Chain A
């Protein structure tokens, strides 16, 4: 796969429905509203974490959290389904997960503008990519396959 964009990535396009119940697809406005509300919750939480992080370090918002916020804004703009979980570790790395059990997609923001995509099926990793955010197109582009 070359020069894939987030919007045209098959797995991520499928991910818009992962973690949503059949009645919360994108076929009606109420489902769209529900997704929009969840994305807003995600962004509010990221802002809260960013504020806490900057207060702890007396620095501007941590670049990892800022990148995660950019990513959330992009996904919301593309009308992708909201993640089922957002995770923050003690290094302020943020991971978005869609799905549950052993079949999940995770996008970890590992550096400023850089994310790692991992797709599991039945507990096994079936796909890994490094994604680089292009600030011009506002999309994550595949940079390289993970070893």
Chain B
């Protein structure tokens, strides 16, 4: 198994006692009775995630509804404990942006690691989506957006 712990923290580590939020892109469930769970692909780094997967530190977020708004519309929000991420050897580092002071990164989940350790990253994304995620904000009462 390839070790994906290759990237040093960009700034400083977020404490394991904190929780982070992930904006969940659009999901559509054709069966209205199906469980509305986030898919593993929601935690898969995209080509643009060069420095890691973007999350937000919950304690710095003033309003979930505000945080859910993006330039491409409203997103659902998933909450993940940093301690759970640490348990699978993933870290969270601070990366405040001018318009998003809560912004942080999971640096190991970056585009380069995905290209070289695809299977491992997919399994980590699956584990996060399946075991660690709690949906705390749903767009229009669902993730059907």
Contact = CB atoms under 8 A, between A and B. Distances in A.
Interface in A93-147: 93, 95, 97, 100-102, 104, 106, 108, 118, 120, 123-125, 128, 146-147
Categorize the interface residue count of chain B: 20 to 34
Contact of A87 (B25, B30, B118, B123): B25
B42 interface: yes
A91 B41 contact: no
B68 to A, nearest CB: 14
Nearest to B144: A45
Given A102-B126, A123-B130, A128-B119, A91 B39 contact: no
A78 interface: no
A123 B126 contact: yes
Contact of B25 (A83, A89, A102, A147): A89
A56 B73 CA distance: 12
Given A93-B46, A123-B127, A124-B123, A83 B118 contact: no
Interface in B28-42: 28-31, 34-35, 37, 39-42
A100 B118 contact: no
Contact of B28 (A85, A89, A101): A85
Contacts of A84: 29-31, 34
Interface in B90-107: none
A97 B39 contact: yes
Interface string B39-54: 1111000111000000
A67 to B, nearest CB: 16
A49 B29 CA distance: 14
Interface residues of A, number: 35
Contact of A42 (B26, B30, B123): B30
A129 to B, nearest CB: 12
Contact of A146 (B31, B40, B118): B118
A19 B122 CA distance: 21
Given A95-B41, A128-B118, A87 B27 contact: yes
B72 interface: yes
Nearest to B117: A147
Nearest to B34: A84
Contact of A120 (B26, B48, B126): B126
A87 B26 contact: yes
Interface of A: 19, 38-39, 41-42, 45, 49, 56, 82-91, 93, 95, 97, 100-102, 104, 106, 108, 118, 120, 123-125, 128, 146-147
Given A45-B30, A88-B25, 11 more contacts: A38-B30, A38-B31, A84-B31, A86-B29, A87-B27, A89-B25, A95-B41, A104-B39, A106-B40, A125-B123, A146-B118
